[in-house]
Amino acid sequence: MTTNRPLFGKTYETQCTVDIENTFESLRAHVILDDEPDLQPGDTVLVHGDSVNVPYGEKMVLRRGATVTLANPIARAWARFRSEFECFELFEVSFSDGRKL
């Protein structure tokens, strides 16, 4: 079912696969939507269901429902504009050895 919310754009329900790994080699969580939409800046995906706790050293694959909300043109442009400035937060680097003089 697709709904249209003027401030947010179109919203629809779909199914997804959630792939979670908590091992020494990797700490990750991936969501793969069944309909493989072309998501753009500003779009959101809400995965339904209870929270998941994967113990250290294990992997888990789950099937869940998801709500996809596509951004309207204004929200999409705002997300692109904001992203240009947010990437600078990644550049904070320190070369100190931790000693105080």
Domain assignments of the chain as residue spans, ordered by start: 2-91
For the ranges 35-39, 64-68, 90-94, 97-101, the maximum mean pLDDT occurs at: 64-68
23 versus 94: the higher-pLDDT residue is 23
On the question of pLDDT at 69 being above 80, the answer is yes
Q: Is 68 or 3 the better-scoring residue by pLDDT?
A: 68
Distant-in-sequence, close-in-space partners of 101: CB < 8 Å, separation ≥ 6:
none
The whole-number pLDDT of residue 13 equals: 93
pTM score: 0.69
Query: How confident is the model over 7-22, as pLDDT tens digits?
Result: 567 889 999 999 999 9
Asked if residues 67 and 13 have their Cβ atoms less than 8 Å apart, the reply is yes
DSSP β-ladder status, 2-5 and 9-22: antiparallel
* For residue 4, pLDDT beyond 70: no
Rg from Cα positions in the chain: 19
The three-class DSSP label of residue 2 is strand
